Structure 1
Amino acid sequence: MQRYFFHLQNRSHTPKDAAALLSRARQLAGSHVVVRDSRVSGKYIEFDTSIPDSMDAGDVAGALAAISPVASIEHIVDRHMEKDQAIRHAIELFNEEKYWGTHEALEMVWKATPAGEERNLINGIILVAAALVHSQKDEQEICRSILRRAKKKLEKAAGTYHGIDMDRMAGLVATMLNTGRIERFTI
């Protein structure tokens, strides 16, 4: 089985539609394809899938296009990237509201970083991305719970980290927790 993320253009769906979209994608993709999750951002409907090696991702994309036009197909494979490249990639993914991909891109950086403030900061960013994944699935209480963990990791974060304004990120996390309104933002 090969893992793929299918990103469909989102023209009108909200995270409240995630469960219904997941059910529809499973029907359309067929019994040999595993559609494990759906996430709805302002830009995309994302389906996390596994496809048998004998199947073509384009055929699955064609089936999912009945929901909305396909914006991109991402083959998920382990890729080694240098730290700076992985962080740049994670920033791009975050700004495209591809939060699960952000989490995965930063996880290898986090694992390779020795214990200390930088590791906590990276973990905080990962937790913010993970929280927003749950928001995309309309799991707001889980999102807030993870944001509380992120806030603790970001407490000592200040200035910029690879171009990310950490003061702004920490402030936005605090605001979301104080207001209860989950907002997407760019970094």
Structure 2
Amino acid sequence: MRILIHARNSRLYEPKDRVRLMNLLRNLGLGIINVRVASSHVEIDVNSDDLDKLALIVSEAVGPVLSIVNLSNENKPNDPFRAFVFLFNEERFWEAHEVLEPTWRVSRDVNVQGLIVAAASFVKIQENYVESFLKLAKRALGMITVNRIDCIDTLKFKEELRASLSTLKPFKARCIA
């Protein structure tokens, strides 16, 4: 089954360490699909049917396991926009982008697609693809044309995303009542 495991970044890995970390985990017997390095955790996308072995290897190689998400099960939140904000703020950008996909598929709203592209841009930072981040972030800025999408303050979101083009750092999205 396909698993997304989050481990505390105890060894202070950086996005530049991603390929080395992927190779280390593969050499330890894991069926690694991808690795993304956030500021406080490492996100490991892996095929595994042995969660105990997976958790043990990851905790020894990376740090304590924070969460395990079974990607084989479709998880549809009641409020995808609030889920997006939560995941985005936890630097779980791949999941943030995924949580809005069903909403976008129904609405085809380019503004929702802009949020998805913005989250995907930060995935590229976590994978150490700075040029791809810049390209996607700029694309997202052009797609989001409204002041608010559901609970998300997109004016502030766009302002922070513009700043990230210079800092290459994530920011906190926010929901307004």
Normalising by structure 2, report the TM-score. 0.89
Call closer, same or farther: CA 1:18–1:80 in 2, change over 3 Å. Answer: closer
Pick from 131, 134, 158 the counterpart of residue 141 of structure 1.
131
1:13 correspondence with 2:13: yes
Query: What are structure 2's unaligned runs of at least 5 residues?
Result: none
Query: What are structure 1's unaligned runs of at least 5 residues?
Result: none
Q: Which moved more, 1:71-80 or 1:129-138?
A: 71-80
Task: Say what the alpha-carbon RMSD is for the aligned residues.
Answer: 1.6
Call closer, same or farther: CA 1:36–1:185 in 2, change over 3 Å. Answer: same
- The letter of the residue matching 2:21 is L
Confirm or deny: 8 A CA contact 1:13 1:40 kept in the other structure: yes
Q: Which residue of 1 aligns with 2:168?
A: 182
- The letter of the residue matching 1:8 is A
1:71 and 1:90 mapped to 2: Cα distance?
Answer: 19
Shift of 1:182: 1.2
2:86 and 2:53 mapped to 1: Cα distance?
Answer: 27
Q: Which residue of 2 aligns with 1:112?
A: 106
Give the match's secondary structure for 2:55: helix
Q: What is the number of residues matched between the two proteins?
A: 171
Q: Which residue of 2 aligns with 1:74?
A: 69
Q: Which residue of 1 aligns with 2:47?
A: 50
Normalising by structure 1, report the TM-score. 0.85
Q: Which moved more, 1:161-170 or 1:104-113?
A: 161-170
- The letter of the residue matching 1:157 is V
Give the match's secondary structure for 1:65: helix
- The letter of the residue matching 2:68 is I
Q: Percent identity?
A: 26
Q: Which residue of 1 aligns with 2:35?
A: 38
Shift of 1:25: 1.2
Confirm or deny: 8 A CA contact 2:81 2:151 kept in the other structure: no
